[in-house]
Structure 1
Amino acid sequence: MKSLGKYIIFIATLFVRRESLGTYVRLVFDESVKIGVNSIFIFAIVSSFMGAVTTIQTAYNLISPLIPDYVISLVVRDMTILELAPTIMAIVFAGKVGSNIAGELGTMRITEQIDALEVMGINSTSYLVLPKIIAALFMYPMLVVLAGFLSIYGGYLAGTLTGVITGTEFIYGIRYDFVEYNITFALIKSFVFAFLVASISAYKGFFTEGGALEVGVASTSAVTNSCIAILLADYLLAQLLL
């Protein structure tokens, strides 16, 4: 409870003694490149193979002649939109971006750069952390959309190239009985997960104590706690919104 209270106070301090709007615009753009653009490659690789493997394994298990082939792509579509793209990729996001945020802020803490900002009268929490959270809220939903598209496209390529399903049947299954709300649900989850990963990682890095060894510990703790928060939030959002 002590850590939770400290985390809530940490979040509240993001919105006091803020800098000028122009300062935040520049910082958010810089963080967007580090958080979003630099994560495109790993997201593309993971999501593409994730969709391909899901297609092959679904086809392997649906061996009944009573089940039409288009069910394969239907399963891939719903799994991708509801869980694989927003949730599984959030774990990748925590490992890629969360550890970077915690390591960066932890290094700034032990080298007393954060203390120097405070001495100059700058709210270091707002100046350093708020742009990271805003950039994550902007970029992660875009990465989820990219991951969803590449996952389904990877499944299409794997299915057609291996002959487990034809291209026509795959596209028919993608369109069959589509629920538009699933897209909304996935985007809501992406915003929540982006906030959790960015804020928890920043919290762990900001309050790092010790030396270089503790920076590594903070990065590991940031990823671990972010993953736990993602899974808990995933369950709660499923209960509340579905």
Structure 2
Amino acid sequence: MTGPTRTHWAAITAVVLALLFAGAATVASAGGGKDAKSLVPTATSADAGFARDMAVHHQQAVEMSFIVRDRTQDDEVRRLAYDIANTQANQRGMMLGWLDLWGLPKVSADSEPMVWIRKDEHDAHSGHSGGHQAMDGSLMPGMATRADLERLGKASGKQAEIEYLRLMISHHNGGVTMAEGCVKLCAVATERSLAQGMVDAQRSEVDLMADLLRKRGAEARP
């Protein structure tokens, strides 16, 4: 009984934390406060860059969660996948809503992903090109490649669970890196609060997923 109960409550805790920050952001941006409406970021700001990039990042987490839902009958993994998909779809909608509120494009064809954080790294470490740039064909930190998604889609049962957990741990760790960047660089306080909520919730879920992997005789990829 210890395993399922811990899994259940850890997942709920992570979702509640994220949704609390999400709800606060919705109220602030819709309620005419002095934050999301009056402080309008530019298209090249960290606020806009984070909102655009994390919306894409979240969409892949939702996609992977739906894939594993159909590839396993394990209640623990399916519940976790549902919680991740629900939370990240909610947050994605908020970030896209902020871009609408600010009158900014949801897609920037003129810049590469993660420019908003790599610029800060370059400023802090002259000559450094940006340590968060993915080198495996993915767009942003922790994102799965097309080959990863195809492998997940072909797996089933325990192997699908292991593939999903490994991919999602990497995905969450990359998301934490991005969210920490927003906590440091974003000017809109509501967005920084949401980003901190992502950091806290996704770190908790990473611990949970590592436990689920160990129960399946596997470990996260280095």
- Give yes or no for TM over 0.5: no
TM-score, length-normalised on structure 1?
0.30
Which protein has the bigger helix share? 1
Q: Which structure has more RCO (C-alpha within 8 Å, separation ≥ 6)?
A: 1
Q: TM (normalized to structure 2)?
A: 0.32
